Amino acid sequence: MIAVKDQIRVRPKSKRRFSTLLEGLLYLLPSILLFAVFLFYPMFKTIYLSLFLTDAQGNTQTFVGLEHYIQLFQSTSFLSSLKATVLFVLYTVPAGVLLALGLALLANQKLKGIGFFRTIFSSTMGMSVAASSVIWLFIYNPTIGIANTIIKTFGMTEMQWLLNPDTALLSVALPTIWMNTGFSFLILLGGLHNIDSSLYESGKIAGVGDFYSLRKITLPLLSPTLLFIVTVSLINSFQTFGQIDILTKGGPMESTNVIVYSIFKDAFVNFNIGSASAQAVILFTFILAVTILQFKWGEKKVHYQ
């Protein structure tokens, strides 16, 4: 301790601060490099491109300022795309998290053969988006799909799941929930495992009911995990692309044309890279704002141990 104090006294403060900063950066260099190449550079390039008109190769032609943004907020297509995205998030995130939480609570019971169910419930984690989308494509098939077979046995008429603008977004949301459940389930189960069993035993001795202990013990202690899962699911949901591309291609009548798909179409189908970049920037600020809001809200509600 004494030696360190002496060093501080001898060296001027700013110089010392600079050298420790340099040392710290050196340790961070590998990840900074990776982040710079794959995240920071593309991000700044996107912001830059969103201010220009470009040719088909993506080379900048003319500086247009905020023209793209103004146009976007006036275009009905983009606004409906925004609406579809928000709806899609609302369909998938709450339902997905609640489903995963329910399954995790079930799988956290100490029962014989529970390992089997834990494996099953988390198995969708191992499925690629493409593979599961193809499975759901078969499920939704109007003539041979099991979805129609099931609703026919309940006496309802056959449906054009993915071709009807009213049901298409829900029909894409359903597979998304199914795909995301595995990951959320696994994380929530881990969170449940971390709750000290003596807390429940204390509750048992006091004689509190199951619902009370779920509300007063499990949920508060699981809240950090829940916040994490909600945040990750939200971001994932905002960025959904694969299942839309395979199941509906943004149709019918742009009812499933969520922002990321719209970005993809603008950039790689219409070669309108400036506008696509502007959309990407809007999506980024959107996600950033939601995440910040969530953490602000979470700070009050979440109990870190």
Partner 1 sequence: MKAIDVRNINKAYHGEAMVLEDVSFEVQEGEFFAIVGPSGCGKSTLLRIIAGLENVSAGTLYMNGEDMVNSRPNERQISMVFQNYALFPHMTVAENIVFGLHVKKISKQQQKQRCLEAARLLGLEQLLDRKPRELSGGQRQRVALGRAIASEAPICLMDEPLSNLDAKLRSKMRAEVRQIQRRLGMSMIYVTHDQVEAMTMADRIMVLNEGSIQQIGRPLDVYNYPQNQFVATFIGSPPMNMTKATLNGQHIQLTDGWQVAASGWEEGDVCAGVRPEHLTYAAEEPPTFTAAVEHIEILGTETLLMFRMNGELWIAKWPGQWDFQEGEEIPLKVDEEHIHFFQPGTGRRIDKRVLPADEMYMEAAL
> Under the rule (CB under 8 A), what is the footprint of partner 1?
196, 198-199, 201-209, 216-217, 220-221, 303, 305
Min dist. Cβ of residue 103 to partner 1 (A): 24
Question: Between residues 53 and 208, which has the closer beta carbon with respect to partner 1?
Answer: 208
Min dist. Cβ of residue 188 to partner 1 (A): 18
Min dist. Cβ of residue 281 to partner 1 (A): 39
Min dist. Cβ of residue 224 to partner 1 (A): 11
Beta-carbon contacts of residue 235 (< 8 Å; ≥ 6 apart): 287, 291
Whole-angstrom distance, CA of residue 153 vs CA of residue 218: 40
Min dist. Cβ of residue 301 to partner 1 (A): 10
Provide the 3-class DSSP secondary structure of residue 53. Answer: strand
Question: 214 with 226: CB under 8 angstroms?
Answer: no
Min dist. Cβ of residue 29 to partner 1 (A): 36
Min dist. Cβ of residue 34 to partner 1 (A): 36
C-alpha distances in angstroms, 55 versus 44, 48, 66, 167?
A: 19, 15, 18, 37
Question: Between residues 58 and 220, which has the closer beta carbon with respect to partner 1?
Answer: 220
Min dist. Cβ of residue 292 to partner 1 (A): 24
Whole-angstrom distance, CA of residue 247 vs CA of residue 238: 17
E-assigned strand segments in the chain: 52-54, 60-63
Question: Between residues 11 and 216, which has the closer beta carbon with respect to partner 1?
Answer: 216
* Longest pairwise C-alpha distance within the chain: 87
Question: Between residues 203 and 251, which has the closer beta carbon with respect to partner 1?
Answer: 203
Beta-carbon contacts of residue 253 (< 8 Å; ≥ 6 apart): 165
Supply the angle between the helices 13-35 and 2-10 in degrees, to the nearest 10.
100
Question: Between residues 5 and 112, which has the closer beta carbon with respect to partner 1?
Answer: 112
The 10 Å Cβ neighbour count of residue 274 is: 23
Question: Between residues 38 and 295, which has the closer beta carbon with respect to partner 1?
Answer: 295
Question: Between residues 76 and 305, which has the closer beta carbon with respect to partner 1?
Answer: 305
C-alpha distances in angstroms, 60 versus 65, 266, 273?
A: 12, 16, 9
The 10 Å Cβ neighbour count of residue 259 is: 23
Question: Between residues 128 and 202, which has the closer beta carbon with respect to partner 1?
Answer: 202
